[in-house]
Chain A
Amino acid sequence: MKEKKEKGWKEIPIGGLILEAGNATQYETGSWRTFRPVRDEDRCIHCLICWIFCPDSSILVEDGKVVGIDLTHCKGCGICARECPSRVQAIRMVEETTFEGLGTWD
């Protein structure tokens, strides 16, 4: 993770307000992950159920097809793997310790 300079009390908005809309993307929650979703492109039928259910908008879709998982923000909750239709099972949760680094896309 890149080093950020933390601001002093005179430099930040009062009341704990966040003035910039949509800045949650700057918060790299991928480091919270214990299990990483691994998607099998050959099995995926692009039903987008995982995209609907993902609470962190981490299923990346282009032109109606799943193209990857945003590992910078995926917290590894496993909902995508659970909701992937049982006859498909395109997503497995794999222990994070078996990977090197956080990863970005799958």
Chain B
Amino acid sequence: MGQIVAFTGNTAIAEAMRQINPDVCAAYPITPSTEIMQQYSSFVADGLVDTELVAVESEHSALSACIGAAAAGGRVMTATSSQGLALMWEMLYIASGTRLPIVMTVVNRALSSPLNIHGDHSDSMGARDSGWIQLYSENAQEAYDNLIQAMRIGQDMRVRLPVMVCMDGFIISHSIERMELLADSQVKNFVKEYIPHYPLLDTDHPVTYGPIDLQDYYTEHKRQQVEAMREAKGVILEVAEEFRALSGREYAFFGEYQLRDAEVAIMVLGSAGGTAQAVVDELRADGVKAGLLKLRVFRPFPWEEINQSLGHLKALAVLDRADSFGAFGGPVFHEVRAALMESSHPPKVLGHIYGLGGRDLGLEDIRRVYRELERVARGGQVNQVVDYLTVRE
């Protein structure tokens, strides 16, 4: 067993980064992710890592510098939140389109306006089509484990895509939890030596990055990105298996809890998973066949596996910590519901928006969802397919 520590999510990420020891980090501070790079800059100043830390004037510059460093051939990491991610927007697509396996921690925070510094998924959910792999974490341990695995997933020659490791702002980033660290040597061996792909600094073999790509080849390059996402599914599972052998901790596309014989279930991402799990335990004690699916990998979206896992249910509620204004429900809801159309007898699928701007999700909120699911599973009428779970009328 590794060393047991009491760390916040941010400290866990900084510690993982110290163990990974990337070549370059360029970052700009923003709540609630600031501490990550603040602590990391101490590691740099103390000579504990070999990283070139680039202090820049904005997040747009942060990701631009990361892109340049990754194209040069370096192993590159950064971290941000909310408005910072929003300011990176155009560069997100440059990183993925140029196939640079930058790994970025996104400490999830609501987007302005109105101004709010607390946790919801509107930042990373808005970036769901930017071509980055997205891993969501339930707690500090998962954030640490996801970050280490993200290195291997992104840098795999079958993938070569950037990866976001997401964790809920404050709820995970600033809460102290018991967690287990791997030894420095274990992490070093696990992430392996970074092999650059056509590095710009290899001046004996000059290549061009970022040329214009018009009607004749742009589609082919996009098709390659689709393939990389498909390949990533296999790689994510391979890396998870290797990580299990190392740490004893199991990862897949999602975590299943009491799902096999469940009739009703909830699906969530991030820190709400633990809360929902507590309610499932209560309900099971009362004889209710309740289950839970905690989604870890949102990109690539594991729709076949979700279908297999949830297709037998009578009713399902998908909880989204971000809204998609004017759409038919939250981003996770409508993708899950669409995936379940491939089932022979799809369950009734309800969508709930919750926890915006860091609003608490209580046990009673989740109990209410399960009660509604039970009613619908018994043939009760669905009053509203998509609804807000925690809002005052």
B-binding residues in A (CB < 8 A) = 6-9, 12-19, 21
A6, A13, A15, A19: the one contacting B100 at CB < 8 Å is: A15
Q: Is B160 an interface residue (CB 8 A)?
A: yes
Known contacts A6-B217, A15-B100, then 7 further A-B pairs from the complex at CB < 8 Å, ordered by chain A residue? A8-B220, A9-B219, A9-B223, A14-B228, A15-B99, A16-B97, A17-B98
Q: In the complex, what residues of A have CB within 8 A of residue B99's CB?
A: 14-15
Q: In the complex, what residues of A have CB within 8 A of residue B209's CB?
A: 15-17
Count B-side interface residues using an 8 Å CB cutoff. 24
A-binding residues in B (CB < 8 A) = 97-100, 160, 197-198, 205-211, 213, 216-217, 219-221, 223-224, 227-228
Q: In the complex, what residues of A have CB within 8 A of residue B221's CB?
A: 9, 12, 14-16
Q: How far is the CB of A4 from chain B (nearest CB, A)?
A: 9
Contact A7–B208 (Cβ < 8 Å): no
Contact A9–B224 (Cβ < 8 Å): yes
Q: In the complex, what residues of B have CB within 8 A of residue A18's CB?
A: 207-208, 211
Q: In the complex, what residues of A have CB within 8 A of residue B207's CB?
A: 17-19, 21
| Bound CA–CA A17/B70 (angstroms) | 14
Contact A17–B224 (Cβ < 8 Å): no
Contact A9–B220 (Cβ < 8 Å): yes
Q: In the complex, what residues of A have CB within 8 A of residue B217's CB?
A: 6-7, 12, 16
- Dominant SS among interface residues on chain A: loop
Contact A16–B213 (Cβ < 8 Å): yes
Q: In the complex, what residues of B have CB within 8 A of residue A12's CB?
A: 217, 220-221, 224
Contact A7–B198 (Cβ < 8 Å): no
Q: A9-B227, A21-B206 are in contact. Are A14 and B160 (CB under 8 A)?
A: yes
16 contacts between A and B (CB under 8 A): A6-B216, A8-B220, A9-B223, A14-B99, A15-B100, A15-B197, A15-B209, A15-B221, A16-B97, A17-B98, A17-B207, A17-B209, A19-B198, A19-B205, A19-B207, A21-B207
| Bound CA–CA A16/B197 (angstroms) | 13
| Bound CA–CA A7/B213 (angstroms) | 13
Contact A15–B98 (Cβ < 8 Å): yes
| Bound CA–CA A15/B210 (angstroms) | 8
Q: In the complex, what residues of A have CB within 8 A of residue B227's CB?
A: 9
Q: In the complex, what residues of B have CB within 8 A of residue A13's CB?
A: 198
| Bound CA–CA A35/B196 (angstroms) | 45
| Bound CA–CA A29/B224 (angstroms) | 28
- Which of B207, B208, B221, B228 has the largest count of A CB atoms less than 10 A from its CB? B208
| Bound CA–CA A94/B154 (angstroms) | 54
Q: In the complex, what residues of A have CB within 8 A of residue B219's CB?
A: 9
| Bound CA–CA A21/B206 (angstroms) | 6
Q: Which 5 A-B pairs have the closest CB atoms?
A: A15-B99, A18-B208, A9-B220, A9-B223, A21-B206
